[in-house]
Chain A
Amino acid sequence: ETGVTQSPTHLIKTRGQQVTLRCSSQSGHNTVSWYQQALGQGPQFIFQYYREEENGRGNFPPRFSGLQFPNYSSELNVNALELDDSALYLCASRIAGGSYNEQFFGPGTRLTVL
C-alpha cells in the first residue's frame, strides 16, 4: 500500500452536475498531482499542487479545479460534468525535491457520468 487514499471509490453522476473527489496524501508529502485515466489509456495529468498552490496544469479546461489543504488532503472538483469525464481519477503524492521524482498513487475514484 502506498499510504495514499481516495474517496469515494465509485461515483455516478449525471451530465451537468458537479463532483468533488478527495485524496489523502502520505504524511509529509507536500505535492499532490491529479490524473484522469480513461478506460484502456494511460493517466493524463490534470494539475499539480505544491504547498496549497497550483504549480502545473495539463490540457484540461477550467471547470477542473482543485484544492490542497495543510493536512496533506486535497480535492478535485469538476463542474458541468460531461459524458467524456467518465474515467478513473487518480491522485499521486510526493515530496518535492525528494528522491528522484518518485510519486505514489492512490487507488483512484471511478466516476461514471450518465
Chain B
Amino acid sequence: QQQVKQSPQSLIVQKGGISIINCAYENTAFDYFPWYQQFPGKGPALLIAIRPDVSEKKEGRFTISFNKSAKQFSLHIMDSQPGDSATYFCAASPANTGNQFYFGTGTSLTVIP
C-alpha cells in the first residue's frame, strides 16, 4: 500500500516555466513533509520541507504548498531551469517516533532550454 501518492510520473517544462508536482497522503500521524531531488547516480538531497502548522513555505525558487484538510502537498518550482532536470520525491514522516520516511514514486522533471 502506497502511503504517499505522487503525480505526475513525468513532467516536461520549458525553461522559465513553473513545474508543479503533487502528493497526497492518508496517515494523519504524518507531520513532516520533505521534498528530495535526485540526480542519476546520486542519493536523494533534501530540497525543502514543511510541517503542517503552515500552509506554505518558500525557499528561493522552490515553494511547498500544504493543504492539511485535503491531506495534499505540492512542490512548485518557479522559473524552471535545465539544471533542475532531475527526479523529485515527496516524502512523509510521523512525529518524533521511529521516523520511518514514506516516499512517493517520484517525478522525472525535464526542463527544455
| B100/A48 in contact, CB under 8 A | yes
Is B93 located at the chain interface by the 8 A CB criterion? Answer: yes
Name the residue among B34, B103, B105 with the largest chain A CB count within 10 angstroms.
B103
| A106/B106 in contact, CB under 8 A | no
Closest A residue, CB atoms, query B50: A100
Is B49 located at the chain interface by the 8 A CB criterion? Answer: yes
Is B98 located at the chain interface by the 8 A CB criterion? Answer: yes
Is A56 located at the chain interface by the 8 A CB criterion? Answer: yes
A27 to chain B, nearest CB (A): 18
Residues of chain A lying within 8 A (CB to CB) of residue B49: 100, 102
A contact residues, total (Cβ < 8 Å): 30
| A41/B105 in contact, CB under 8 A | yes
Residues of chain A lying within 8 A (CB to CB) of residue B97: 56
Q: Give A residues with C-beta under 8 Å from B.
A: 2, 4, 6, 31, 33, 35, 40-45, 48, 55-56, 58, 90, 92, 94, 96-97, 100-108
Interface pairs (19), CB distance under 8 Å: A2-B43, A2-B45, A4-B43, A33-B99, A40-B106, A42-B105, A42-B106, A43-B89, A43-B103, A48-B99, A90-B43, A100-B32, A100-B51, A101-B34, A101-B96, A101-B99, A102-B34, A106-B43, A107-B42
